[in-house]
A and B are shown apart, each in its own frame.
Chain A
Amino acid sequence: MSGNENKPINIAIVGLGGQGVITLAKLIANTNFMLGKKVCYNEQHGLSQRGGSVQSSIRINEADNPLFAAKDTDFIIGLEKLETLRYLYLAKEAKPKVLVSNRYDIRTTSDLGLEMFPESDDIDKEILKYSSATYIFDALGFEASVKSKLKPVNVAVFSVLTTFPELGLPTGKAEDYVMEYLGRNILLKQINKKAFKEGPKWMKKVE
């Protein structure tokens, strides 16, 4: 971390439609906002409901421009492996921290012989090559542990993010906001509270 507290922190979140990319962006942005910090984010939905590629960029300590150049990237959060690989060009020069889920959704275009999908291990190697630190979130394990049909991976990942001091997300405030924003009824409150509590358990730093 540089000594300058007001230096913008540039975060890219990528994933597939329906995984909660935009919601995760809102959680990060609004928690920072509640703490009185400047923050802005954008969303890019590429036909998101149809399994398309979804991306959001957030800048903390910046008021109006959420977009940043590749060489300025501080953090990449990938909720799906292939999408993380797609946006890895953001990392090539900047060498950011990368938090990637172990979910690898091989699309049917592979079965139909239209596309060749890389081996999961090869994606991991690429990510390791271009990140200053890599963190794996065991989304598959987490999902299996959740009994409900609703699998709030994004809330669990948000909880993981509170363990990175540079993102400035104090656990208490972050949890309060999850409850306020995603706790519309008792069931949702329960599910999201549990996800928030257990999230960090499913994260592992790659050494």
Chain B
Amino acid sequence: MKAADSKTDIDVVEGEGEEVQLLMGNRAVVQGLLEAKVGLTTAYPGTPSTEIQMQLYKLHQKGQLYFEFSVNEKVAFEIAGAAALSGVRSAVIMKHVGLNVASDSLMALAYFGVIGGMVVVVVDDPGCLSSQNEQDSRFWGKFSHLPILEPSTSQEIKDTIVQAYELSEKYNTIILVRLTSFTSLNTAEVKMKVVEEKLAKDGDFFKDIRYALPARYVLHKGLHAILEQIKEDEDFLGNNELKYGDSISDRLIITQGAIYPMVEYMRNLNNLDIPILKINAIHPLNEKQIGEFLKKYKYIYFVEELESYLESEILSIIGKYNLNLKVFGKEQLAIPEENRILPDVLSEAFKRIATDPNNEEIFKVKPPVPSPYAHVFGRVDQLIPRTIPRLCDGCCHRGAFYSIKRATKKTDIIPSDIGCYALGQVFPVDIGDFWLCMGASIGTAIGFSLTNDKPVVAVIGDGTFFHAGIPPLIDAVLYNHNITVAILNNSLTAMTGGQPTPSSDEKKAKNQRQLDIEQVVRGLGVEYVKSVRVEDTKENTKIFREAMAHEGPSVVIFNGECVVELYRHSLDLGEAPYVDEELCNMCGTCFIEFSCPSIIKKDGQIVIREDTCTACNICVGVCPQTAIIPRKKKKV
């Protein structure tokens, strides 16, 4: 037994160069990439795929392989794509909505195919625990004509990644590997090979007339041909398995890789002697293989998370071959098409699977109320208060929000964006009326300003600004749209755990140039640009009013440090300020308008909690009575 270098896992040495570790699904992806000797990897931060990226980032710093946090998913995809065309194995990692951003390049590169293996790892977030929407990435397979594999366990994730590179090179096609928050965040045993060598990214790009061809429908045709071939590949089809196949039952449960372990658990919990067809090779499906699996059974039950993807695909196979089967899908089994699938969500479905399949009445009953599991932030029970996520104690955004709040009216329209500052929408901070997707605050601000006779303010973070906020700001400059943009700059991607952004300094992001947001904005042609520190809320309020009065686009950059990041370096950030009871008139400015969770009411007085206060001292400048007195602040 030996200690692992990471703080997460321990190793048990098996044979030579082999060991068993407890690995989170996301970490198993990285292990697969190492075993497949992938030389170039790219990503844009996104939960629930972040652990893959952070691990690759560490490996890059150690010099084992190339990794970068690209400016957005589209660029990340293009970099990895060109590497694969140069014969280098590459991977690009993103969350489900990231693939929307990269899809323009994905759809076109699918036509060319690749030389070196290329895998896109996409992690879905059913239940939108940390996303603006939930979507079922299985549909990308049919849409882009690319094969999709969906492993069930950490071990399968690692093995699937390795296999995906073999298939990718055998058929010269990009392979999508789809995980969900279930598989990516589960930790289980993985048997693996130790890979310590440096993985090179030396390639050789051959120019080919194909890449410049205008009549690309020819390539489209070729892509269909590849899918037909891969459909017959034994290794690929081997990902689909009939479990408990020796059962004599005439019923069959069909499920997808991502939730198989849970479905198996429910089968056993309900003592059902029914086999399960586990489909990991989501796209393309081989009609013959599926038909072979189905022919022994009379009753088919589909258990799926999110959309009824397999249900409709396999129904068309059943229809085509005129198979005499009775099918029970989401509707009959009362499985929701939204949110995560959890054991208790499936309890009604398994009750129905266990009953007489010919009892029509049971399957017509309306679905019961969804499980309490469904509401993570919501109200489980009328008597239990919600735990509403909020800006951290000492979050620098709170200072910016306070200034914006003072400078704007309640009726002003304020679209916000994707990041920690989206939590500004939560009462009582209450900044942010609209929340769409990465970079959308500025574009929608323009639309609101053109159609409403009200001041419009866009709120966007530094990472999001670089990701997708620059093109709309250019639009605002081009047509002199009358909007004010607040760029909340904490120099990192805070929401996903503190990854570097283009404005990160050298200390945070080694081997990366630091971009000055103010210079970038000026370079775009914005005339009114101010860059301020968050602490001076009074002065910032004045500046923000001035920016809003400016005719045409104006930008105020609020600079501060993410308090979680500060804590990573020191647990002692200084002493909490205190409230002078004589001076305090309980006006509520600090408590309600500024709304720091460390400022509480206790025995009819305003008190600052010493155990949670981080001594950011922004509240000191907020108090109209100057009743908040600072103590020692540690220099950071």
- A residues touching B (Cβ–Cβ < 8 Å)? 16, 26, 29-30, 33-34, 38-47, 49-53, 63-70, 72, 82-83, 85-86, 89, 107-112, 114-118, 149-150, 177, 180-181, 184
Contacts and interface: CB of A to CB of B under 8 A. Distances in A.
Interface residues of B, number: 63
A116 B385 contact: yes
A108 B129 contact: no
Given A49-B392, A51-B392, 20 more contacts: A34-B10, A39-B22, A41-B186, A44-B181, A47-B423, A49-B497, A50-B391, A50-B420, A64-B152, A64-B154, A65-B261, A66-B187, A70-B343, A89-B381, A108-B597, A108-B599, A109-B386, A115-B386, A177-B10, A181-B7
A18 to B, nearest CB: 9
A63 B154 CA distance: 10
B343 A69 contact: yes
Interface string B376-406: 1100110111111111100000000000000
A115 B381 CA distance: 12
Interface string B261-295: 11011100100000000000000000000000000
9 contacts: A30-B9, A39-B188, A40-B188, A45-B130, A65-B264, A65-B265, A70-B344, A107-B387, A109-B388
Interface in B85-139: 129-130
Nearest to B269: A69
A30 B12 CA distance: 11
Contact of B600 (A68, A108, A149): A108
Contacts of B7: 181, 184
Contact of B22 (A29, A50, A115): A29
Contacts of A149: 571-572
Interface string B23-47: 0000000000000000000000001
Contacts of A52: 377, 387, 389
B301 to A, nearest CB: 18
Contact of B390 (A39, A50, A64): A50
A85 B264 CA distance: 29
A180 B185 CA distance: 23
B22 A180 contact: no
A137 B628 CA distance: 35
A51 B10 contact: no
A25 B319 CA distance: 47
Nearest to A39: B22
Given A112-B428, A118-B383, A53 B377 contact: yes
B631 interface: no
Contacts of B571: 149-150
Contact of B153 (A49, A64, A116, A184): A64
A40 B187 contact: yes
B189 A40 contact: yes
Contacts of B597: 51, 107-108
B8 interface: yes
A47 B494 CA distance: 11
Contacts of B387: 16, 46, 51-53, 82-83, 86, 107
Contacts of A44: 129, 181, 185, 376
A136 to B, nearest CB: 20
A150 B571 CA distance: 8
Residue from the set B7, B266, B381, B388 with the largest chain A CB neighbour count within 10 Å: B388
B22 A86 contact: no
Interface centre among B9, B265, B495 (most CB of A within 10 A): B265
A46 B129 contact: yes
B262 A65 contact: yes
Nearest to B392: A50
Contacts of A107: 385, 387-388, 597
A108 B266 CA distance: 40
A181 B386 CA distance: 33
B540 interface: no
A109 B261 CA distance: 39
Contacts of A180: 3, 10
Contacts of A69: 266, 269, 343-344, 347
Contacts of B380: 86, 89
A30 B384 contact: no
A109 B428 CA distance: 9
Contacts of A150: 571
A42 B185 contact: yes
A49 B130 CA distance: 12
A34 B1 contact: yes
A91 to B, nearest CB: 13
A118 B385 CA distance: 8
